[in-house]
Amino acid sequence: AVHQELQGPESYSGLQKLCDKKELYLVKLVSEGGGGELQSFAAPCALLEAGLAESLIVHLDWKGNMIAINLNVRSEEAPLKGRNRDKFDTKVVMQSMENGPTPDTAAFIQKMEEEKARKLSGETKDNRSFFAKYWMYIVPVCIFMAINSAAGPEGGR
Amino acid sequence: MRELVVLMILMLGGSGVLGLYEDQAYKFDWRKQLIGKVEDLEFLAAGVDTAILVRTQKNVLAALDSDDGKLLWRHKFEDSAETGKILAIGRLNRNVVSVSGSSNIFLRLWEPLHGALVQEHFIKLASAPTHAHLVDNNLHFVFVKPNGMDIVTYTFDTKKFTEGSHKKVSTETTEVEKCVGLDNLLVCSTPSGLIYTQINSKEPSKAEMIPVADIQGSTLARRGTRIQVENSAGSVSTFKVENGKLVKQADITNIVSECPGVEVKQECSEWGTDSEGNKYCAQYADNILTRFKGEETTVKLASYRGKLEAVWSECGADPQAYQLILAFQDGGLVSVTPRGNIMFTREEGLTSVHKAEFVNIGFEDKSSTFGPLYLHHENMFDPATLAQNFINRMKRHILQLREFISSLIQLKFLEKNSAATLDRFGLNKMIVIATEHNKLYGMESISGKLMWQLYFPGRFTSAEGFESKSQAYLLIQRDGRAGGEAQAVLIYAHAHSVHHMMTFDPLTGKMISNEPLNMHLDQALLLPEFSDHEIKPILLVGKDGNVAVHPRAAAECLRSGPPLFVLSGPTNSKLVGSKVVPSQEGSGVSLVPVWSLVTPSTEIVSVKTRNPIERVHSAGRVLADRSVLFKYMNPNLALVAAQGTDSSAKLFLNIYLLDMVTGKVHYSATHKKVLGPYHTVHSENWAVYSFYNEKARRAELVSLEMYEGKTQTNATVFSSIENKVIPLVERQAYILPVSDVRALKETVTEQGITSKHLLIGSAVGNVLDLPLHLVDPRRPPLDTPAGMREPGIPPYIPELPMPHESIMNYNQTILGMKDILTSPSGLESTTLVFVHGLDLYGTRITPSKGFDLLKEDFDYIMISAVILGLVLASYITRKLAQKKMLTKAWK
């Protein structure tokens, strides 16, 4: 469970000051078990513009340890929420680590086996029409004949 | 099946045949075969000539020609000290003997002329011996135990191997540092002096002790019929055997050699004092003195090599003729004649490359430059700047023309300019190498020729992994292309002091300055070039969080420039990103930590960012339906790999794609049951990493690609803070055709138009040149119909091919490969490659073939003849036509 400590109107003016000085708004997450601190930051001007709507992504490793936090400004929601709000609106998202990809050998082997089986059960039936199958032989013969027939009468003359 | 055959043809056709023609071998590439820093050396009479048998720190047994130092043969044993370390070398009748291993000992007999294996004996010992000693056909192992020493003797010949005697020797001390054998005596160094004992008597005995003040036990060595050891004041104590007893001779300041009467001396020209008040030699004399029968000869060394560490000598029948071989601190092996001439030099320090960088030499002749070739890009389109540039350029061309004409008149155009050959296509660069043996080298990338060398008194501890990389930094502040002097900086831990910063010219090797840093350095970073500053500033981060910028004037640029973020790793399992905040006035700079990544109970093994000189040519890729998928190209992204141990004591690997400015994790994945080595590459919008899958017993390569999607947010400027795109990460895994990957690198070209290739170096010694589209994570399933496939991407097959013609170094094996370096050349098609390890190898490759190059066998004569013929023909036909017209008109 994540316990959030939000400061009220006072921090708002503080944010304004940070924005004017072009500094950064830092967040620190201190775990109660003494596991150390995690830090992240956001641009204060963007945060003010978004009406203090932010999201905090907590990254976990596969053992469930917190490894990093990322503070993001939810600027896409700004027009809906209205500006100059005095309260932080924080969404907390937990993101866990995924298993890395492994070579997909199973599908490949299956494919190869299908191919083998098909070969054993006899060649695949070719149900294309005669012309579709042998057009590459027929067409040159036709052309050759056409040329011959065109050239033939001339030579005879 | 037919589909598969078609697929194979497609794959071969698509990737292009990469091989060389036979006559192109050795044309673009060079290889240097090295052996490593010599630990022990023995002269052999092999046939007519004498050869030198050596064993080196790199577990290499080699034979060299004693006249020119050329390699006759060599055998590289296993990398690990446990199986490959050579303990002793010797001779037995006509054969060469080597003893290697630790508790499993291999005794091998070799034929001395060609290095063929004659016989191999295997000995299994209960524990690793402290010392192994070969005397003729006896092999003695010394085990140091708490209550004394055990000496086990074996007897061998070319056929048999028999276990001999055991002997116990009691000693007063147990701290035995080093042992050497001299005939039948075993002499060992202890902190208080030398102890010695008879080696071949069987009855237990007590070691005799000779106290030596301020002894440096590691310098104990055998030289001919004497034993010598140095003390910390620099003088040498020598000992001789008389009636089975070790007798001390007079202390001398010279190093004696095996030949009677030959002494070698290196004087110290400058003494220094370290922080604890100990005296050390800061600078040795440039020349070595040899003394033979009271006559002193000076040996002039071409370059400074640091401390003379060992001397071996061979005496001929004629007492005047001897050969000295000197081994220096920088790994150099120098052979000297009695007259002080140098017979050969081997630069064996090059086998331990710590850092290496390519440096542009530049296209322009230094003598005829008009200020910088490139003016600042800031106001490139300002009319005044444009006019200035244009005038400069015209001036340059006129000058070049004048020079060309004058050279033509003086018939000098055939003369080659020898000083750092300027080539117009940038195919030649300077490779600057910093070795772990305290030497900087400048090497021509086109030929592998050493152009200069420079000594630095650094200190390298044998730490492994991420930490060891930070012991020295080689940063190129300005290369030769920008006009003016090139400048580079080497930041190193001084052997007796704090970190030092040495500024030098990377093209000529001229040292500009060498100053202490006065801070406990944590890391040094090269900052991007600021527009009003010609050289890249360096940010120095201290262990206590102190920050300094060098040169100091650059702090001003930091204040006016965009905000800067740096990464630091305070511990092995934590990364901290900090913002660089310059103070309002003065040159002070401080760091404010803004994000962190903590990977509990794992160790971060690598952080790989994009090559800063890399350019990306296309912003997207065309899909099968003709829409464009835009690449997510974040220059601040890094691929972080961390290794940990799970509950069943198996290793796992965590991979993060991390934005180094905001600390945002864009992708994280874990691979369980893996083994190292891990190699990562990140470039453009993709990253690949390789590891050994212990479960499946194969090396795997995972490929990641990041895309923004079908729309692009901001095509001109990328800002990590303002960018809100969450990239789509495509991923796929492949099986590598090599099981032991030693190095992984991508090719890089000037403009990024040429397609990318991956270079995979294997432990066998070959480098596979793999087109990147073969590891594309978007390779479609095998049964995808042809119409749905994206152009240029073959269907997915888990195993990557390894055609023999795509092995970059064809039959030139690169032993003990450690890393691959790539650099763009001036030609878009060509990438320069440098591979280092025990061997050095340099070549150039053309990933998309040489599209901007004329063919090797381009027929210049033919094409000129054809053009000339055409001109002639058109002239003649014109005449003929005129004639015809004239006669026609007369009709």
Alpha carbon distance B352, B338 (integer Å): 31
49-78 of A, contacting B, C-beta below 8 A: 57, 59, 61-62, 65-68, 70, 72-73, 75-76
* Residue A98: closest C-alpha in chain B: B669
Q: Which residues of chain B have pLDDT under 70?
A: 1-19, 46-48, 174, 200, 224, 233-234, 250-258, 317, 319, 363-380, 411-424, 461-470, 482-484, 530-533, 569-570, 585-587, 715
Strands of the sheet containing B767-771, edge to edge, are B741-746, B757-762, B767-771
First to last CA, chain B: 76
Q: What pLDDT does A86 receive? A: 63
Q: What pLDDT does B742 receive? A: 92
Alpha carbon distance B127, A50 (integer Å): 69
Label residue A1 by pLDDT band (50, 70, 90): very low
Label residue A76 by pLDDT band (50, 70, 90): confident
Interface check for A130 against chain B (CB to CB < 8 A): the answer is no
> Which chain A residues are Cβ-neighbours of B601 within 8 angstroms?
65
What would the DSSP string read from start to end of chain A?
Answer: --------HHHHHHHHHHHHTT--EEEEEE-TTS--EEEEEE-HHHHHHTTSEEEEEEEE-TTS-EEEEEEEE-GGGHHHH-S--SS-EEEEEEEEPEEPP---HHHHHHHHHHHHHHHHT-PPP--S-HHHHHHHHHHHHHHHHHHHHHHHHHHH-
**Cβ within 8 Å, pair B721-A115:** no
Consecutive H or E run containing B400: helix B383-409
Q: Which of A94-103, A132-141, B395-404, B455-464 has the lowest mean pLDDT?
A: B455-464
**Cβ within 8 Å, pair B782-A111:** yes
**Cβ within 8 Å, pair B722-A43:** yes
715-744 of B, contacting A, C-beta below 8 A: 721-722, 724, 731-735
583-612 of B, contacting A, C-beta below 8 A: 593-602
Total CB pairs under 8 A between chain A and B: 117
Write out pLDDT tens, residues B658-711: 998 888 899 999 999 999 889 999 998 999 999 999 999 999 999 999 998 888
Which of A40, A62, A102 is facing B663, going by the closest CB pair? A40
Which of B576, B596, B798 is facing A108, going by the closest CB pair? B798
CA distance A9 to chain B (A): 24
Alpha carbon distance B590, B548 (integer Å): 8
Interface check for B398 against chain A (CB to CB < 8 A): the answer is no
**Cβ within 8 Å, pair B668-A97:** yes
Consecutive H or E run containing B265: strand B262-273
**Cβ within 8 Å, pair A103-B700:** yes
**Cβ within 8 Å, pair B733-A36:** no
CA distance A107 to chain B (A): 9
**Cβ within 8 Å, pair B668-A40:** no
Backbone angles phi, psi at B735, to 5 degrees: -95, 130
| A70 has a pLDDT exceeding 70 | yes
Interface check for A104 against chain B (CB to CB < 8 A): the answer is yes
* Residue A114: closest C-alpha in chain B: B1
> Which chain B residues are Cβ-neighbours of A76 within 8 angstroms?
724
* Residue A102: closest C-alpha in chain B: B733
3-32 of A, contacting B, C-beta below 8 A: 24, 26
CA distance B698 to chain A (A): 11
Please answer whether residues A56 and A71 qualify as being in contact, where contact means their C-beta atoms are separated by less than 8 angstroms: yes
Please answer whether residues B325 and B333 qualify as being in contact, where contact means their C-beta atoms are separated by less than 8 angstroms: yes
**Cβ within 8 Å, pair B733-A119:** no
Interface check for A35 against chain B (CB to CB < 8 A): the answer is yes
Consecutive H or E run containing B523: strand B521-526
B248 vs A99, residue with greater confidence? A99
Among residues B338, B299, B296, which one has the least CA distance to residue B315? B338
Please give the single-letter amino acid code of residue B4: L
Among residues B542, B467, B579, B583, which one has the least CA distance to residue A39? B579
Which of B663, B670, B796 is facing A62, going by the closest CB pair? B670
- Specify the pTM: 0.85
**Cβ within 8 Å, pair A104-B796:** yes
Strands of the sheet containing B819-824, edge to edge, are B30-32, B840-845, B831-836, B819-824
